[in-house]
A and B are shown apart, each in its own frame.
Chain A
Amino acid sequence: MAEPGSSTAAAGDGGGRLRNAFGGVLCAFTLLLIGVLAFSIRLFSVIKYESVIHEFDPYFNFRVTQFLSKNGIYEFWNWFDDRTWYPLGRVIGGTVYPGLTLTAGTLWWLLNSLNIPLSVETVCVFTAPIFSANASWATYLLTKEAKGTGAGLMAATILAMVPSYISRSVAGSYDNEAVAIFALIFTFYLYVKTLNTGSLFYATLNALSYFYMVCSWGGYTFIINLIPMHVLLCIVTGRYSSRLYIAFAPLVILGTLLAALVPVVGFNAVMTSEHFASFLVFIILHVVALVYYIKGLLTPRLFKVAMTLVISVGLAVCFAVVAILIALVASSPTKGWSGRSLSLLDPTYASKYIPIIASVSEHQPPTWPSYFMDINVLAFLIPAGIISCFLPLSDASSFMVLYLVTAAYFSGVMVRLMLVLAPAACILSGIALSEAFNVLTRSIKCQLAKLFDDSPAASGDSSAESSSASTASTNSAKNENRSEKTKTIPKEKPSKNRKKEREVAESVPVKHKKEKKLLVLPMEASAMGILLLIVLGGFYVVHCVWAAAEAYSAPSIVLTSRSHDGLHVFDDFREAYAWLSHNTDVDDKVASWWDYGYQTTAMANRTVIVDNNTWNNTHIATVGTAMSSPEKVAWEIFNSLDVKYVLVVFGGLVGYPSDDINKFLWMVRIGGGVFPHIKEPDYLRDGNYRVDAQATPTMLNCLMYKLCYYRFVETDGKGFDRVRGYEIGKKHFKLTHFEEVFTTHHWMVRIYKLKPQKNRVRGKLKKLKSGSKTSSTIAAGRNKNPWQ
């Protein structure tokens, strides 16, 4: 009797191990599938359009990567780019976050050294999808640290297809955020892992991961502020431990040292106020550590005395330090904060003081629909996630909650930062869903067992006790039931007491799951719950696929429209850039609004005056001023900048709304911010911006208007602008200082050439000379042309 018993036990034990192993394999396989999902959902843009770099900034990153792969890392660090910001140039190596470039460059180098001939462009296009797969794996790790494997898998799945992240990481969207989100989540994972294990190994890895994040994105300041906040939270709530110390102290020291190695950050890592929070918390942490140490040494009474002494002295010192700090910070003009960070704290800051920041659409605060668009049903799951983070509250789960709260605040300030919120939302929703499924399926399991028990019990005795049989013993219970059934026939024969007895004997083994019974929901409710959750998840998946396929897959350099006679492709941007690159001189300078700077340098390989790296406001204002000035003045400004071609984007013929006429007011504002003779009201009629017959003469005579609408009236005879929806104000005019050299098929890009200066007529020489002199002095006096 003993042997079979032990053998079955051994088998059961082996079965458990097998189940664990199987679970591991299943988990790994699921993760693999999640990676595939994250990668492939981002390929809509390649399938629907083509394998091409998207938007604006990615073109710059692509160009830098090309340079890196061609010239090597040392050339890259020392790269002075003379093809942009003419005549100033730009030190690329020192002003760019190199993480993305180095990542893609390494990837390319690796592939090429394996003799897999992929072009730099292909590698760049697919970097973002690859890193979103990595990001979802990092999410799994992070959530697993907080709430276990199930929640981890759920969160990873959700993150793999969250629209907010897809918007920044579709194939071709080769931007910093693509790798930065992975770095962000992975840094958080390593922090939480260190917090849970107290291992110095993970702390070091954490600092390295933080370094990668600093390399990748300016958003690293979020990490270096969030982690101190969490440390502070832990200290305040009395959760100080040596693990906390290990998680934070090495990160501050190593992380700051490493961050200072990145040229674009440099001494900012210790000098700007974005980083001060970490140093402050670093000091506090040491004080707390000292207090705990002393507490261990002294008796409680002595400790109290020491405490009061230290606190009185310490407070005085603290006040002094704080006063000095405040004085220091206040003495610097921006109070030590950069413009973008300031607009994070004070959402109205940018629009008040820095039009160039406010002019970027992704720096605007988001609207409610954009929340629904970007995180969809997660917005409803987050509260549940927060609740389950408090049951029970651990260091890790408190970190999740803190992450969510801060990210939610920042996303409310800038649309762009919705991206930071997305992982937090995914993690908390993953936790919520996982917990919900856990409760519901467990109750269903119990109920099922009850059902199996009940069917025979209905024939016999309907005892409630026998209901909560454990699932593990379901089989044995069944067997029992079968034997019971056979017993029911001679049921009448045994005496009453026997029957009772048997009932008692039978109820014993099934009683032990009493505790879990408390969490059991009714069968119908839980089935309904699961069904609803699945429907909710289905909605989410459908929405994500729709967002990936329709909303975020357009590369923005190729536009398509569906009309009754099929798909129509607007490839005007590339048409113009190709024309520029093949039919102008290599060293010609092209002036355009800064939006098109990166694309012009990357696709047309021509020198531009300003580009999307808006580091020099004056320079941009100069171009803005030229665009909003009359032709002659504009010609003088452009000529002084050695510009040969002027490029404008015009959507009036086909109805492309984000054209230069719609952006024009920003040019006026930015130009007017530096050169006060450009006044915004001059371009507005009764506070309304319009280019129809009621537009102001200043508006109708400015260069932008003329370049956009030159000979536009001849297309339909009326000059009907399809974007603005009315006929333009001034229809027939001639250009005196510019000539049209190229206009694309749909008129979306128009390129003009500056006419050469006219030969002076001998007889008029003297008069002209004096005239030009006065005009130039006037111009200089009015500061029309900043280069004279």
Chain B
Amino acid sequence: MATQPPPPRRVAALLLVLVAFASASASDSAARADLVVTRADRRVDLTSHIVRVLTSLKVENIGPEAVSQVLLAFPNVQAKNLAAIRAFGTEGKVKGPSTALPIEVVQPSGVPPELTFFSASLSKALEKGKTLHLDVLTVFTHSLQPFPEEITQAESQLVVYQDSAHYLSPYPVKVQTLSIRLPGGRVESYTKYPNTKLAESELKYGPFEDRPPFSYSPMVVHFENNNPFAVAKEVIREIEISHWGNVQITEHYNIAHGGAKLKGEFSRIDYQSRPYVRGVSSFRHLIARLPPRAHSIYYRDEIGNISTSHLWSDSKKTQLEVEPRFPLFGGWQTTFTIGYGLPLQDFVFNSDGKRFLNITFGSPVEEILIENLIVKVALPEGSKDIEVSVPFPVKQWQEVKYSHLDISGRPVVVLEKPDVIPEHNLYFQVHYRFNNISLLREPMMLITGFFLLFIACIVYMRTDLSISKNSPSYLAKVQWDEVQNIIQQIQAIFEQCLALHDKLEASLRDLSRSGDVQSCKAARKAADAQFKELAKELKPLLTSLHSSPQSFQIWPKVEDLVAKERELQEKLMARHSTVVDSFEKKLRGQDVENRIATQQQKVAALRQEVESLLEYISEII
């Protein structure tokens, strides 16, 4: 055989020695003296890269005293890869409702140090002669060693699994079996014992009968396993609660293929033309099961969006298939980020004045081993009395995060746990107090900010902020303001003048219609008086304008305007009187027209000039 498997024979040998020693030394611990395992069935699942061992034990108390705990033993090499252990006990013969038993590490006296002991505490002590059904689920990581450690693109991946054919227990075991489920495909080799049977993808050992305590007989199976060995070196899972109605989850993955490393070239043509032959050991996508009603899902890495992903959703779940930028061969790694929002009411609840977040701990990606998981729960700003309850031991501390206009920062609960497997996808709770008024803090802050900005603008526009009150530019500005003021007054006066002119014209029209000479005359008189009044008003303004040094630009125009207007007035009056005169003398229309024609033109021209001057001045201001 070309590929000669098990390298770690040495460990097994050592274990054997140890077991011999252990059984030789008098095992007098009270805890394990009186129990007998009447039947032990172990089922090992090797289909994925996470090894799950389900051990069904039937334990009988044959001693005189009631026993309240059952010991479970693992060799240290296995124990260090142990990610999760759970035990469910049912007393009596009938399979009743099983209860989860608390499990803790113990170190009984007089046992070899190469073994790690766990003790499952029974809820009710096992009386003499009673039987207990105990189901122990143990999950191991890193237990499948790729062998060979480096393969080419075309080869499939072979792994080695080591265990004991006999159930390692501090108690004598009467009957036991071991069945190992393999993923199918080639089985390179396996340790053969008398009762060994390989059928399809199932390897069976046993039944073995009447083994003493600590019996250990190493077995090794070397087989093909091409399932994705997705190992995340680190996953950071950020959960951010917003009481505006959203729980935002962002997960940063750093994923590697944990199987046999790729050696030699990676040829795309081989991979593309025969993907299931050339590149069978690689995986190209992962599936994440997100909670239902997940929205705004994104999938990207540090250099942008990754366009290869698919999403299905129904009322029960949201399934996201993410495909990294490139297929992952052994030893290759990549990073990416998945983010999604969840409706608040599905995950945050109220209970007697406190709120709590109830959400799963692990990553939603299927069959992924996370070597280090950091969960950060960012609570809204102003949360108090924070308590965390997690169903398994984690390292936890608090941080403060500043985001979106925070002032005091958001409290962040950080939970860290190594070796997280899908079995850890349990719900955990974060309890906290939060007042809804705090929600309005940031909007109010924005409103106040803008309000102050506008106030500042108004104040700036309305107040005089110049430092020096006698600098030339300041004086010039003040003078210019004065000039503007005066000009505006002058403009108003001229507007009135023009209005008066119009009135005079109107009176002429009235005359032509009604022939009422007297009223026309009266109108002229009134206009005359008003003109005089306006001229009086104008005079001080003009003098002050003339004296102002800033008016050099505008003064000639104003002067011009005044002169033109006066002329216009005179002409208008003259014409008015002419028309009225001719009316009184009952002259013919033709004659009247002849008489006033020249005047008419002049008036029109003047009026136009005056208006353009006015326009010009208003443009300057």
Which residues of A does B touch, CB under 8 Å?
1-2, 5-6, 8-10, 12-13, 16, 50, 52, 114-117, 487, 494-502, 504-506, 508-509, 511-515, 557-558, 569, 571, 574-575, 577-579, 582-583, 603, 711, 714-715, 739-745, 747
Determine if B533 and A496 form an interchain contact, defined as CB atoms under 8 angstroms apart.
no
B307 within 8 A of A: yes
Q: How far is the CA of A498 from the CA of B513 in the complex (A)?
A: 8
B618 within 8 A of A: yes
With A1-B526, A13-B495, A508-B600: A741-B266 Cβ-Cβ less than 8 Å: yes
B335 within 8 A of A: yes
With A497-B590, A509-B502, A509-B505: A578-B266 Cβ-Cβ less than 8 Å: no
Determine if A116 and B513 form an interchain contact, defined as CB atoms under 8 angstroms apart.
no
Residues from chain B with a CB closer than 8 A to the CB of A495 are 589
Could you jot down 28 A-B contacts, CB within 8 Å?
A1-B530, A5-B500, A9-B495, A13-B495, A52-B305, A115-B405, A494-B512, A500-B592, A501-B512, A502-B512, A504-B596, A504-B600, A505-B505, A505-B508, A506-B509, A511-B608, A512-B607, A512-B611, A515-B608, A571-B306, A578-B301, A578-B325, A578-B326, A579-B325, A583-B332, A741-B265, A743-B268, A744-B268
Residues from chain B with a CB closer than 8 A to the CB of A496 are 589
Determine if A582 and B304 form an interchain contact, defined as CB atoms under 8 angstroms apart.
no
- Looking at the complex, which one of A500, A577, A714 makes contact with B273 (CB distance below 8 Å)? A714
- Looking at the complex, which one of B326, B407, B590, B600 makes contact with A744 (CB distance below 8 Å)? B326
With A1-B503, A515-B608: A504-B332 Cβ-Cβ less than 8 Å: no
Determine if B496 and A6 form an interchain contact, defined as CB atoms under 8 angstroms apart.
yes
Determine if B512 and A715 form an interchain contact, defined as CB atoms under 8 angstroms apart.
no
B334 within 8 A of A: yes
Determine if B604 and A508 form an interchain contact, defined as CB atoms under 8 angstroms apart.
yes
Residues from chain A with a CB closer than 8 A to the CB of B265 are 739-741
Residues from chain A with a CB closer than 8 A to the CB of B515 are 498
Determine if A12 and B301 form an interchain contact, defined as CB atoms under 8 angstroms apart.
no
Residues from chain B with a CB closer than 8 A to the CB of A509 are 502, 505, 607
- Looking at the complex, which one of A8, A497, A515, A575 makes contact with B325 (CB distance below 8 Å)? A575
- Looking at the complex, which one of B266, B333, B593, B618 makes contact with A501 (CB distance below 8 Å)? B593
Contacts A501-B589, A557-B304, A582-B332 known; list 11 others, CB within 8 Å: A6-B496, A117-B404, A497-B588, A504-B592, A512-B608, A578-B325, A578-B326, A715-B269, A715-B272, A741-B265, A744-B326
Determine if B607 and A511 form an interchain contact, defined as CB atoms under 8 angstroms apart.
yes
Q: How far is the CA of A1 from the CA of B488 in the complex (A)?
A: 23
User: What sequence of 0s and 1s flags, for each residue 258-289 of chain B, a beta carbon within 8 Å of any chain A beta carbon?
Assistant: 00000011111100110000000000000000
Q: How far is the CA of A427 from the CA of B618 in the complex (A)?
A: 27
Residues from chain A with a CB closer than 8 A to the CB of B403 are 115, 117
Q: How far is the CA of A504 from the CA of B600 in the complex (A)?
A: 8
> How distant is A717 from chain B, measured CB to nearest CB, in Å?
11
Sorted from nearest, which 4 A-B pairs have the closest CB atoms? Answer: A497-B589, A743-B268, A512-B608, A511-B604
Interface residues of B in 494-521 (CB under 8 A from A): 495-496, 499-500, 502-503, 505, 508-509, 512-513, 515
Determine if A505 and B512 form an interchain contact, defined as CB atoms under 8 angstroms apart.
yes
Residues from chain A with a CB closer than 8 A to the CB of B533 are 2
A-B contact number at CB 8 A: 155
Tell me the nearest residue of chain A to B575, going by C-beta.
Answer: A508
Residues from chain B with a CB closer than 8 A to the CB of A575 are 325-326
Determine if B607 and A711 form an interchain contact, defined as CB atoms under 8 angstroms apart.
no
Determine if B325 and A571 form an interchain contact, defined as CB atoms under 8 angstroms apart.
yes
Q: How far is the CA of A742 from the CA of B262 in the complex (A)?
A: 12
User: What sequence of 0s and 1s flags, for each residue 601-621 of chain B, a beta carbon within 8 Å of any chain A beta carbon?
Assistant: 001100110011000001000
Residues from chain A with a CB closer than 8 A to the CB of B407 are 115
With A50-B305, A52-B305, A582-B333: A711-B269 Cβ-Cβ less than 8 Å: yes
Q: How far is the CA of A396 from the CA of B270 in the complex (A)?
A: 68
Q: How far is the CA of A12 from the CA of B493 in the complex (A)?
A: 12
Q: Which of A569, A578, A711, A742 has the most CB of B within 10 A?
A: A578
B427 within 8 A of A: no
Determine if A740 and B502 form an interchain contact, defined as CB atoms under 8 angstroms apart.
no
Tell me the nearest residue of chain A to B515, going by C-beta.
Answer: A498
Q: Which of A9, A495, A579, A740 has the most CB of B within 10 A?
A: A9
Residues from chain A with a CB closer than 8 A to the CB of B505 are 505, 508-509
- Looking at the complex, which one of B301, B331, B492, B608 makes contact with A9 (CB distance below 8 Å)? B492
Determine if A577 and B303 form an interchain contact, defined as CB atoms under 8 angstroms apart.
yes
> How distant is A283 from chain B, measured CB to nearest CB, in Å?
30
Tell me the nearest residue of chain B to A119, going by C-beta.
Answer: B302
Residues from chain A with a CB closer than 8 A to the CB of B334 are 578-579, 582
B451 within 8 A of A: no
Residues from chain B with a CB closer than 8 A to the CB of A715 are 269, 272
> How distant is B470 from chain A, measured CB to nearest CB, in Å?
18
> How distant is B231 from chain A, measured CB to nearest CB, in Å?
14
Tell me the nearest residue of chain A to B256, going by C-beta.
Answer: A582
B402 within 8 A of A: yes
> How distant is A405 from chain B, measured CB to nearest CB, in Å?
31
With A583-B333, A711-B267: A5-B326 Cβ-Cβ less than 8 Å: no
Determine if B509 and A502 form an interchain contact, defined as CB atoms under 8 angstroms apart.
yes
Tell me the nearest residue of chain A to B403, going by C-beta.
Answer: A117
Q: How far is the CA of A5 from the CA of B503 in the complex (A)?
A: 9
Q: How far is the CA of A12 from the CA of B266 in the complex (A)?
A: 85
User: What sequence of 0s and 1s flags, for each residue 569-613 of chain B, a beta carbon within 8 Å of any chain A beta carbon?
Assistant: 000000000010000000111101100100010011001100110
- Looking at the complex, which one of B307, B513, B600 makes contact with A502 (CB distance below 8 Å)? B513
Q: How far is the CA of A501 from the CA of B509 in the complex (A)?
A: 8
Residues from chain B with a CB closer than 8 A to the CB of A13 are 488, 491-492, 495
> How distant is B538 from chain A, measured CB to nearest CB, in Å?
13
Interface residues of B in 451-466 (CB under 8 A from A): none
> How distant is B578 from chain A, measured CB to nearest CB, in Å?
12
Residues from chain B with a CB closer than 8 A to the CB of A578 are 301, 303, 325-326, 334
B366 within 8 A of A: no
User: What sequence of 0s and 1s flags, for each residue 301-316 of chain B, a beta carbon within 8 Å of any chain A beta carbon?
Assistant: 1011111100000000
Determine if B603 and A508 form an interchain contact, defined as CB atoms under 8 angstroms apart.
yes
Residues from chain B with a CB closer than 8 A to the CB of A711 are 267, 269
Residues from chain A with a CB closer than 8 A to the CB of B502 are 509
B406 within 8 A of A: yes
Determine if B326 and A116 form an interchain contact, defined as CB atoms under 8 angstroms apart.
no
> How distant is A474 from chain B, measured CB to nearest CB, in Å?
14
Residues from chain A with a CB closer than 8 A to the CB of B266 are 740-743
Q: How far is the CA of A767 from the CA of B602 in the complex (A)?
A: 118
Tell me the nearest residue of chain A to B610, going by C-beta.
Answer: A512
With A2-B526, A116-B405, A571-B306: A9-B593 Cβ-Cβ less than 8 Å: no
Q: How far is the CA of A499 from the CA of B512 in the complex (A)?
A: 8
Determine if B596 and A50 form an interchain contact, defined as CB atoms under 8 angstroms apart.
no
Q: How far is the CA of A496 from the CA of B591 in the complex (A)?
A: 12
Residues from chain B with a CB closer than 8 A to the CB of A714 are 269, 273
Determine if B612 and A497 form an interchain contact, defined as CB atoms under 8 angstroms apart.
no
Q: How far is the CA of A719 from the CA of B118 in the complex (A)?
A: 64
- Looking at the complex, which one of B496, B512, B600 makes contact with A498 (CB distance below 8 Å)? B512
Determine if A574 and B404 form an interchain contact, defined as CB atoms under 8 angstroms apart.
no
Residues from chain A with a CB closer than 8 A to the CB of B503 are 1, 5
Q: How far is the CA of A741 from the CA of B265 in the complex (A)?
A: 5
Residues from chain A with a CB closer than 8 A to the CB of B604 are 508, 511-512, 514
Determine if A747 and B268 form an interchain contact, defined as CB atoms under 8 angstroms apart.
yes
Tell me the nearest residue of chain B to A572, going by C-beta.
Answer: B325
Determine if B612 and A515 form an interchain contact, defined as CB atoms under 8 angstroms apart.
yes
Residues from chain A with a CB closer than 8 A to the CB of B526 are 1-2
Tell me the nearest residue of chain A to B527, going by C-beta.
Answer: A1
Residues from chain A with a CB closer than 8 A to the CB of B402 are 115, 117
Tell me the nearest residue of chain A to B590, going by C-beta.
Answer: A497
> How distant is B263 from chain A, measured CB to nearest CB, in Å?
11
Q: How far is the CA of A500 from the CA of B595 in the complex (A)?
A: 13
Determine if A9 and B303 form an interchain contact, defined as CB atoms under 8 angstroms apart.
no
Tell me the nearest residue of chain B to A740, going by C-beta.
Answer: B265
Q: How far is the CA of A714 from the CA of B274 in the complex (A)?
A: 12
Tell me the nearest residue of chain B to A506, going by C-beta.
Answer: B509
Interface residues of B in 213-230 (CB under 8 A from A): none
- Looking at the complex, which one of A5, A501, A505, A506 makes contact with B496 (CB distance below 8 Å)? A5
Residues from chain B with a CB closer than 8 A to the CB of A117 are 402-404
